[in-house]
Amino acid sequence: MKPIIRVENLSKQYRIGTAHKHHDTLRDALVSGVRNSLSRFRSGHGSQKMELIWALKDVSFEVQPGEIIGIIGRNGAGKSTLLKILSRITEPTTGNADLFGRVASLLEVGTGFHGELTGRENVLLNGAILGMKRTEIEEKFDEIVAFAEVEKFIDTPVKRYSSGMYLRLAFAVAAFLEPDILIVDEVLAVGDQSFRNKCLRKMEDVAHNGRTVLFVSHDITAISHLCTAAILLSQGKIISQGAVDGVVSEYRTSLLRTSTADLLSRTDRKGEGGIRLSGIRIFNSTGALTDTILSGENIEIVLDYVAEREFPQLEFAMAFYSMAGAPLIHFSMSQSSGPIFVRRGPGSVSCRIRKLPLAHGRYTINAAAQMGRLYDWVECASVVNVETVNFYGNGYKVSEGYCPFLVDSEWTS
């Protein structure tokens, strides 16, 4: 079968600190010129010393029609650069990227929209750009508006839309105008959970109809559920590609290579800030600090943090995940004690878990500090090994991967 996307030795190089500037006015151009002159004068040279970096380096892969490919990696791995090249927004430095068919991209909120035009006019414009006839666009118009839930505002200039309205209409346009290739970046993180779920279902429908989807997301659960294959990028290079479970597992393992003893050093965290998780300590039933616990054991997990200010109310939460990225168990203060007052400076909170039900295996822990909004969140903040030695009291041990949970039970005849 002929691939719908073929990427060969694709590379993209940037000069740090020398991005092209667009001057809206003569004043802007004059100011920029003065600044550049001063910079050259200070350096004592006719031109500034520039550092070159490779955002992508020798990337090659193929995508078949109907595949949903997840592209994952840490911040700065080159994911967005790759999608911009495939969307013909950015030119590669070297290499080739061939796409066979109509491409619709959703890379930023409002991408491809003209602020002065109404929602209706932007739908028609985007369809025309995709090469569709007006009658084809009008056949899909009602579905687009209904999906985006902007019926009341469809004849309002989109510059007056909220970011959520922008996103809903932009995604609906990209998905419903039947492109051969749909490219979606992390932009879906802007929407609420119900809309994200709605978009994920729509992307599944797109693929089931024989079209292709490229999906960049930090939501590993969504990647694992939606995608048929995945590509892992790191520092602009492909580290792994293939079946989604294997690639996701390798990604999570790479996260664990980052030191978990001091989470303050992690740069791939999310949240508004003001507080940072600094460590996770796990204690077994005897009170010993450990990274290996038993199924059914009573354990205690301590989250250390450093608060830059006081929080009148704050909740901490954590969740156990499989190495493939599937969420298994969630623990939050809202389930028991409720929010607490947090003083400025270092501190810690403790979560006691009775009769841990996880089966034999290796698991990761995500941790968060939140209160209506996310202040700090670290994926793969820690890793724990679970053993099932004598869980049922008869020496029976469950093999790793056989099942995620164990329940104390009794059979009779």
pLDDT at position 296: 85
Q: Which CATH superfamily is domain 263-387 in?
A: abc- transporter (atp binding component) like domain (2.70.50.60)
Of the candidates 308, 314, 290, 310, which has an alpha carbon nearest to the alpha carbon of residue 300?
Answer: 290
Q: How many CB atoms lie within 10 A of CB 382?
A: 22
Residue whose tokens read 């978009």: 199
Task: Tell me how far apart the alpha carbons of residues 312 and 291 are, in angstroms, rounded to a whole number.
Answer: 33
> Distance of alpha carbon 96 from its chain centroid, rounded?
26
Q: Kindly tell me the burial class for residue 155, based on how many C-beta atoms sit within 10 Å of its own C-beta (0-12, 13-18, 19 or more).
A: exposed
The ranges assigned to domains in the chain are: 5-254, 263-387
Contact 120, 154 (CB under 8 A): yes
Contacts 24+ apart (CB under 8 A), 247-250: 247/70, 247/72, 248/70, 248/72, 248/220, 248/223, 248/224, 248/324, 248/325, 249/323, 249/324, 249/325
For residue 61, give the 3-state DSSP assignment.
Answer: strand
127, 132, 150, 250, 313 from 135: Cα distances, Å? 10, 8, 21, 47, 55
Q: What is the DSSP letter of 85?
A: H
Fold adopted by 5-254? Rossmann fold (3.40.50)
| Nearest-angstrom CA–CA distance, 193 and 174 | 19
The structure tokens 């929080």 sit at 311
Alpha carbon of residue 11 to chain centroid = 23
What does each of the 413 residues of the chain score in pLDDT, given as a tens digit?
Answer: 789 999 999 999 988 765 444 445 555 555 556 555 555 555 555 455 567 889 999 999 999 998 999 999 887 889 989 999 998 888 999 999 999 988 888 776 555 678 888 989 988 888 887 777 888 888 889 988 998 888 999 999 988 888 778 888 888 887 887 788 988 887 665 556 677 778 888 888 888 888 899 998 877 778 888 898 999 999 899 999 999 988 988 887 777 665 454 678 787 788 899 999 999 999 999 999 998 998 888 999 999 999 999 999 999 999 998 877 778 899 999 888 889 999 999 999 999 999 888 888 888 899 999 998 899 999 888 888 888 765 665 556 666 666 788 877 777 88
Beta strand 68-72 with 212-216 is parallel
Distance CA 325, CA 314 (A): 26
In terms of Cβ atoms closer than 10 Å to its own Cβ (0-12, 13-18, 19+), residue 68 is buried
Cα distances (Å, whole numbers) of residue 313 to 340, 342, 369: 5, 7, 11
DSSP per-residue string spanning 17-54: T------SSHHHHHHHHHHHHHHHHHHTSSS---EEEE
Is the Cβ–Cβ distance between 327 and 335 less than 8 Å?
A: no
Residues sharing a CB contact under 8 Å with residue 311, sequence separation 6 or more, in sequence order: 274, 275, 341, 342, 371, 375
pLDDT in the model for residue 57 = 94
